[in-house]
Amino acid sequence: MCCPSRSSSLTGLYVHNHNVYTNNDNCSSQHWQTTYETRTFASYLSNAGYRTAFFGKYLNEYNGTYIPQGWKEWSALVRNSRFYNYTLNVNGNKVKHGDDYHLDYYPDLITNDSLQFLRYSKRFFANKPLLMVLSYPGPHGPEDAAPQFHNLFLNVTTHRTKSWNFAPNPDKQWILRNTGKMEPIHEEFTDMLHTKRLQTLQSVDESVEKLYNELKELGELDNTIDNIVLNIDLAPTFLDIAGVKVPDHMDGSSVLPLLKKTTETNKSDVELKKPKDVEWRHTFLIERGKYTKESDNPFRTLSKKEWLTIECQKPEYQSPCSPYQRFECYFDGSETRIRKCRKSYWSPSYQRKVHQKCICSSDQSTDTSDHKYEESFDLNSEDLLIKSKKRKLDSNEKKLQRRFLKE
């Protein structure tokens, strides 16, 4: 999600630590401004002597009444993404733009301002390091592509993968189980939206090429590093590259230790390797938009290894999978992991309901043993899928549905 992800990029913090959960809640709020905005990578780099510049979209709810701490050159969009008819805060002054492509098309304006900043910095501050952030509106809506790209990707179908518009999905999460295939008009809209997003990204690609060539012409291309991992790693990586101590409160890690450069005979050929002695994550955290009521969940303080140690002692996670078991724990030779049982597609609650409706021969008993369940499910897959679509949601699924709709 946009604002939570941007906030993580700026601060190096997970969502639960900077408290920006949606594109509205706490996004550029007073609490954010006083508590977290003063501790972005821009603040630390500015204090370390860097010339800092920001061009583009900042945060969804940014109202343009102030310049965030740490930025010496500031040109940021007021509120959410626009390509035309927008307002910028340019170093403290509100500047309105209209709908003239040559004067106002926002992606081009971001690129031109950034190129000008690079040239000016090279000329007047040649010995001073700089940080420049470019934040383009594409492929955000309203997907207004530059005129020269309007005829591209008109018949593209790359988004139509095997899982595209696939239904029914009785083994998936509740919202997919209760969602059918799209109507033809919705398919057409999805195709059109994908085309327009690809068209808007052409301006971004074009801008990256211009910046690349400008850095090369200025002799600064070899003075950059292009390997980035998670968004929370951006802030600590920037600080580490600049030789600034990474604060302990940041959740992310600098990727700099992962980059071992070996210069060949041709100095332009650089091989990036991962040193064997550097420990690095093999999993990462994905967070939902809002907290659930289980805010006091003790598992939130546990590492993945500690959590698995506890969970894998429970009978519902034992290996091998028993009939209707959803997940199993296993040891891959180095550590304990958890995975989905491949042949377990039906929840126990659904199986009980199906058996009560007597999807079985008349001479079967109501024995609930595994053997009887296997006999009662001696149906073709089409019958099962039809019946799964007609089933009612259980209480837990209803709670999830209500919570999802509120968000």
Residues whose CB is less than 8 angstroms from the CB of residue 230 and which lie 6 or more positions away in sequence, other chains included: 252, 284
Closest listed residue to residue 97, CA positions, set 64, 73, 126 = 64
Catalytic annotation present for 329: no
Query: Is-cis flag, bond preceding 147, omega within 30?
Result: no
- Say how far apart CA 238 and CA 156 lie, in whole Å: 37
Of the candidates 330, 331, 311, the residue with the CA atom closest to the CA atom of residue 320 = 330
Contacting residues for 41 by C-beta, under 8 A, at least 6 apart:
10, 11, 12, 70, 131, 234, 235, 236, 238, 239
**Tokens matching residue 181:** 């295939």
How many angstroms from the chain centroid is the CA of residue 358?
Answer: 45
Tokens of 129: 């390091």
Tokens of 395: 């209480």
Q: What is the 3-state composition of the chain as percent helix, strand, coil, each rounded to the nearest 5? A: 40, 10, 50
Q: Which of 2, 321, 329, 358 is catalytic?
A: 2
Q: Crossing angle, helix 2-11 and helix 234-241, to 10 degrees?
A: 30
Strand-by-strand arrangement of the 87-90 sheet: 93-96, 87-90, 73-77, 51-57, 130-135
Strand 51-57 and strand 73-77: the pairing is parallel
Q: Would you call 51 helix, strand, or coil by DSSP?
A: strand
Indicate which residues carry an active-site annotation.
2
